[in-house]
């Protein structure tokens, strides 16, 4: 395995920084990006998403507002 071994401090950092990009967490812990991704999946934490996806409710409210910026 590349990088240094995973410690309990790294797990605490991962849980504290949840919702942040994996690359930021890797830089903070000093571990590889792959290690961070593997441990995040093991802990059941969601991956970072740049933007939230729209729900059906969001689209309905958007359409009901009548705003059209595609012109």
Return d(Cα 11, Cα 1) in angstroms, integer: 17
Tell me, yes or no, whether 57 lies in a domain. Answer: yes
Q: What is the pLDDT of residues 20-58, one digit of tens each?
A: 899 999 999 888 899 999 999 998 888 887 777 888 888
Predicted confidence (pLDDT) at residue 13 exceeds the cutoff of 80: yes
pLDDT of 65 over the 70 cut: yes
Distance of CA 48 to the CA centre of its chain: 1
- Distance CA(29)–CA(69), nearest Å, equals 43
State the Cα–Cα distance between residues 40 and 47, nearest whole angstrom.
8
pLDDT confidence of 71, banded at 50, 70, 90? very low
pLDDT surpasses 70 at 9: yes
Instruction: Indicate the number of domains in the chain.
Output: 1
Residue 31 domain-assigned?
yes
Q: Find the domain containing 45 and state its range.
A: 8-65
pTM to 2 decimals?
Answer: 0.62
């Amino acid at each position: 395995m590349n990088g240094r071994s995973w410690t309990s401090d790294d797990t605490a950092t991962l849980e504290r920084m949840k919702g942040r990009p994996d690359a930021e967490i890797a830089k903070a812990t000093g571990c590889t990006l792959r290690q961070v991704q593997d441990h995040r999946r093991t802990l059941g934490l969601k991956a970072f998403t740049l933007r939230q996806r729209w729900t059906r409710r969001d689209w309905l409210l958007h359409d009901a507002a009548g705003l059209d910026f595609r012109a």
